[in-house]
Amino acid sequence: MENHKFQQKYNVIIRPNRFRLSREAIGIWCLCFALLCQSNLYAQSEDFELWKGIELKKAWGKDLTFSFEEQVRLNNNVSQFKSAFLDGGVRYELLKQARISLGYRYTVRLKSVTQRLYSDLSLKLDRKWLVEPVFRLRYQEDYKRGDLPERKVRPKLSLKTGIKPLKLDISLAGELFYELSSEGSDFNRYRLGLGFSRPLASRSSVTLNYLFQEEFNVRDPLTSSVISLSYSVSLNDYDLEARRRLPRVKR
């Protein structure tokens, strides 16, 4: 009624702008569709994994240590076999707070077999308060038949402490994955970890870890929560000095 009086007084015609409303509605629908397509294109998957392993260690003298590890990993919410690997390595104590490691890993997956060569440089920083910082830098190369080798650099920082009355060691760690590629190198994953280790006997221990890792700068990034349980056994040390002091047998 008021619109009709206004039209008669000023001799104007007011018409509803239906086309403007339609254009706005179409714009909103187009924006929603574009966001939906983008979310599907870069959809993020989530998973829960379980890792179980056993490790054997053998010291050779004071500076050299050999290790052998076997591990099985389950993914898809612990309902499917992901991989299993055998890992062998050697560690050498350069200094009191520095050591270097070399290793080889043979991994079996559902549809592929991968071989890895890697080297580690670990540095123990000065202990502050009750925490011992440990920095590790790893370089690795993964080889798969028919593909170019994948090269990565993995810096890792760990903070370690212990509760002596409980004989419990606690560690908090953060790790980054830097992929080296001719098409462009970049970080594409990070991993956070909280671990608890406790000796079971004089030469054996059990370790429980919770890991959270997330991919980025990749298509369909994966976010994983991992429970890792491992059992470690240290074999009798081989005393080179005592071996050298043994009398030689004349033949």
pLDDT in tens, 27-83: 545 544 544 444 444 456 899 999 999 999 999 988 999 999 999 999 999 999 999
CB 124 within 8 A of CB 98: yes
Tell which residue, 148, 93, 151, has the closest CA to residue 121. Answer: 93
Classify residue 152 as exposed, middle or buried by CB count within 10 Å of its CB (0-12, 13-18, 19+).
buried
pLDDT at 108 over 80: yes
Average pLDDT over residues 230-236: 93
For tokens 């920082």, the residue is 157
pTM for the model: 0.77
Q: What is the pLDDT of residues 174-212, one digit of tens each?
A: 999 999 998 889 999 999 999 999 999 889 999 999 999
Predicted local confidence at residue 127, as pLDDT: 74
Q: For strand 150-163 and strand 132-144, is the pairing parallel, antiparallel, or unpaired?
A: antiparallel
Predicted local confidence at residue 205, as pLDDT: 96
Tell which residue, 58, 73, 7, 61, has the closest CA to residue 203. Answer: 58
Q: Average pLDDT, whole number, for the chain?
A: 84
In CATH, which superfamily holds the domain spanning 47-241?
A: monomeric porin ompg (2.40.160.40)
Collapsing DSSP to helix, strand or coil, 39 comes out as: helix
Residue 239 makes CB contacts below 8 A (sequence gap 6+) with 61
Predicted local confidence at residue 247, as pLDDT: 59
- Which carries the bigger pLDDT value, residue 128 or residue 54? 54
Q: Per-residue confidence at 241, pLDDT binned at 50, 70, 90?
A: low
Predicted local confidence at residue 32, as pLDDT: 47
Beta bridge partners of 145: none
pLDDT at 21 over 60: no
Give the C-alpha distances (Å, rounded to integers) separating 162 from 7, 117, 165: 85, 32, 9
Taking the C-alpha atoms of 147, 112, 177 and 91 in order, what is their torsion angle to the nearest 10 degrees? Answer: -100
Phi, psi of 5 (to 5 degrees): -65, -40
pLDDT at 231 over 70: yes
Tell which residue, 83, 100, 90, 91, has the closest CA to residue 144. Answer: 83
Beta bridge partners of 223: 46, 214
Domain boundaries, the chain: 47-241
Compute the half-sphere exposure of residue 172: CA atoms within 13 Å on the CB side of its CA: 5
Predicted local confidence at residue 49, as pLDDT: 98
Predicted local confidence at residue 146, as pLDDT: 85
Which of 1-10, 103-112, 200-209, 226-235 is predicted with the least confidence, judged by mean pLDDT? Answer: 1-10
d(CA 55, CA 228): 13
d(CA 34, CA 42): 12
d(CA 185, CA 168): 39
